[in-house]
């Protein structure tokens, strides 16, 4: 028996004398060399005094302080490797008999590539500190936000909303298609459906692209009218020319909010007539007759209003009217180097008979010839 065994048994005997009979764990197998000068045998049954004489830091001292294991007990796997030993050390050591563990001798632990065990503990709420949602003891996790838009409506209302959107899309697409055919060059499709296209477009959605033409309109067009009246004695007379365009210009000048009638009624009516008649003032289609009636009624209405505002003029009943246009070229700017003929050109229409349907109506619906107190005159 070497000194290592003697010191271990001496320490164990001291503990047994003190009454310590608890479980013990066996030291790791393998002999330890004794220090130089220590007796090799016969000193292992010394007392505690002999154990205290062992030099400090001696391995026998550490083993003497550890509990002893019964004979034949294999070393515990949890006690190896000691603290501070690299984790890649092989267990059990090479050459050690198997101790019942399933892991093969000499293989490193843990195996290469194996994930490290998760030793974390789930978080818990701490009293007095607000916990994050989802932690035990903390507030409940927030629910999903409510659905917005059509998705948030009941199923029946979703169907109604979807049908309404579909109808709006169909109506918008149909309108855009008809307006496109209206402004598109003449083709087979527009000729075949020209009447339906015109009924849809006129008068609310009419398109006028003159402003964006390569050479915009550079003329001033004045529309004038005169009338033949019959007085109470049966005599007829003809008035002078009334410049209706100039009167509209005076009403617009200085007016921050001119009316649509003052700006566009007469101009659009004359364009309507010019586009539906040839240079001989003959109608070129069904809209020609409509344009004549439209511009004639505007002229009669304006005459009634003017004569009502001028009581000093000779009174009478309008029997016929005649209209003409005076076109004058706009002078080009000096830097353009262009020249234009400033001589006005006239387009004079024949006399039109005025019937009762052409005269404005009063509040009761009766024609009021010679009276300018009409709906248009009151504006």
The DSSP annotation for 124-179 comes to: -PPTTSPPPTTSTTSPPPPPPPPP-GGGGS-HHHHHHHHHHHHHHHHHHHHHHHHH
User: What is the per-residue pLDDT for 378?
Assistant: 33
pLDDT of 369 higher than 60: no
DSSP-assigned states of every residue in 308-350: HH-TTSPP-EEEEEEEEEEEEEPPPPGGG--------EEEEPP
User: What is the per-residue pLDDT for 293?
Assistant: 93
Are both 346 and 221 inside the same structural domain? Answer: yes
More confident residue, 104 or 261: 261
Are both 310 and 291 inside the same structural domain? Answer: yes
In a domain, 75, yes or no: no
Residue 104 is encoded by which pair of tokens?
A: 């093969």
User: pLDDT band at residue 124, thresholds of 50, 70 and 90?
Assistant: low
User: What is the per-residue pLDDT for 291?
Assistant: 94
In a domain, 81, yes or no: no
pLDDT of 228 higher than 90: yes
Are both 343 and 239 inside the same structural domain? Answer: yes
In a domain, 124, yes or no: no
In a domain, 335, yes or no: yes
pLDDT of 141 higher than 70: no
Of 39, 28, 37, 45, the closest CA to residue 2 belongs to 39
More confident residue, 187 or 250: 250
Query: Residue 11's domain spans which residues?
Result: 1-20+27-55
Average pLDDT, integer, range 163-191: 91
In total, how many domains does the chain have? 3
Are both 353 and 254 inside the same structural domain? Answer: yes
In a domain, 39, yes or no: yes
Most confident of 70-79, 110-119, 201-210, 218-227: 218-227
User: pLDDT band at residue 186, thresholds of 50, 70 and 90?
Assistant: confident
Are both 288 and 322 inside the same structural domain? Answer: yes
- Minimum mean pLDDT among 30-34, 151-155, 158-162, 329-333: which range? 30-34
In a domain, 108, yes or no: no
Are both 221 and 354 inside the same structural domain? Answer: yes
**Percentage, residues of the chain above pLDDT 90:** 30
- Minimum mean pLDDT among 16-25, 134-143, 353-362: which range? 16-25
Q: How far apart are CA 205 and CA 202, in angstroms?
A: 6
Q: How far apart are CA 290 and CA 285, in angstroms?
A: 10
Phi, psi (rounded to 5 degrees) for 300: -65, -40
Are both 294 and 346 inside the same structural domain? Answer: yes
> Mean of the per-residue pLDDT values for the chain?
73
Are both 261 and 319 inside the same structural domain? Answer: yes
Are both 261 and 201 inside the same structural domain? Answer: no
User: What is the per-residue pLDDT for 164?
Assistant: 95
- Minimum mean pLDDT among 115-129, 168-182, 284-298: which range? 115-129
pLDDT of 366 higher than 90: no
Are both 196 and 264 inside the same structural domain? Answer: no
User: What is the per-residue pLDDT for 91?
Assistant: 55
In a domain, 182, yes or no: yes
Q: pLDDT tens digits, residue range 260-316?
A: 888 999 999 999 999 999 989 999 888 899 999 999 999 999 999 988 888 878 889
- Report the half-sphere exposure of 224 (CA within 13 A, side-chain side): 16
Are both 222 and 343 inside the same structural domain? Answer: yes
* Secondary structure (3-state) at 303: helix
**Percentage, residues of the chain above pLDDT 70:** 55
User: What is the per-residue pLDDT for 360?
Assistant: 80
In a domain, 78, yes or no: no
Average pLDDT, integer, range 71-83: 51
State the pTM of this model. 0.44
- Distances from the Cα of 107 to the Cαs of 73, 292, 354, in angstroms? 22, 111, 121
User: What is the per-residue pLDDT for 41?
Assistant: 46
Average pLDDT, integer, range 204-211: 70
Are both 279 and 182 inside the same structural domain? Answer: no
Q: How far apart are CA 273 and CA 283, in angstroms?
A: 9
More confident residue, 282 or 87: 282
Residue 207 is encoded by which pair of tokens?
A: 């398109």
């Amino acid at each position: 028996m070497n000194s290592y065994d003697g010191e271990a048994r001496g320490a164990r005997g001291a503990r047994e004398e003190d009454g310590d009979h608890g479980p013990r764990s066996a030291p790791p197998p393998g002999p330890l060399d004794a220090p130089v000068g220590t007796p090799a045998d016969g000193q292992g049954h010394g007392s505690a005094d002999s154990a205290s004489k062992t030099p400090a830091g001696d391995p026998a001292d550490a083993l003497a302080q550890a509990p002893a294991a019964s004979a034949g007990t294999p070393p515990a796997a949890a006690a190896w490797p000691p603290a501070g030993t690299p984790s890649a050390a092989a267990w059990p050591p090479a050459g050690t008999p198997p101790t019942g563990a399933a892991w093969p001798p000499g293989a490193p632990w843990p195996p290469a590539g194996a994930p490290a065990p998760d030793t974390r503990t789930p978080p818990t709420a701490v009293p007095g500190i607000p916990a994050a949602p989802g932690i035990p003891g903390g507030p409940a996790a927030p629910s999903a936000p409510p659905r917005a838009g059509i998705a948030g409506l009941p199923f029946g209302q979703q169907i109604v909303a979807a049908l309404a959107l579909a109808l709006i899309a169909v109506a918008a697409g149909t309108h855009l298609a008809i307006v496109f055919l209206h402004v598109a060059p003449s083709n087979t499709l527009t000729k075949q459906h020209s009447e339906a296209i015109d009924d849809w477009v006129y008068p609310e959605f009419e398109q006028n692209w003159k402003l964006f033409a390569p050479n915009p309109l550079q003329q001033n067009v004045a529309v004038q009218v005169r009338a033949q009246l019959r007085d109470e004695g049966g005599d007829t007379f003809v008035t002078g020319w009334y410049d209706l365009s100039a009167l509209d210009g005076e009403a617009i000048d200085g007016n921050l909010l001119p009316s649509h009638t003052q700006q566009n009624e007469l101009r659009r009516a004359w364009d309507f007539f010019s586009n539906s008649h040839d240079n001989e003032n003959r109608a070129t289609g069904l809209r020609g007759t409509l344009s004549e009636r439209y511009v004639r009624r505007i002229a009669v209405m304006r005459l009634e209003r003017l004569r009502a505002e001028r009581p000093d003029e000779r009174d009478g009943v309008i029997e016929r009217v005649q209209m003409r246009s005076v076109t004058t070229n706009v002078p080009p700017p000096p830097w353009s180097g262009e020249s234009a003929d400033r001589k006005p050109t006239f387009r004079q229409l024949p006399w039109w008979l005025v019937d009762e349907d052409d005269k404005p109506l009063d509040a009761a619906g009766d024609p009021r010839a010679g009276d300018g107190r009409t709906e248009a005159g009151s504006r």
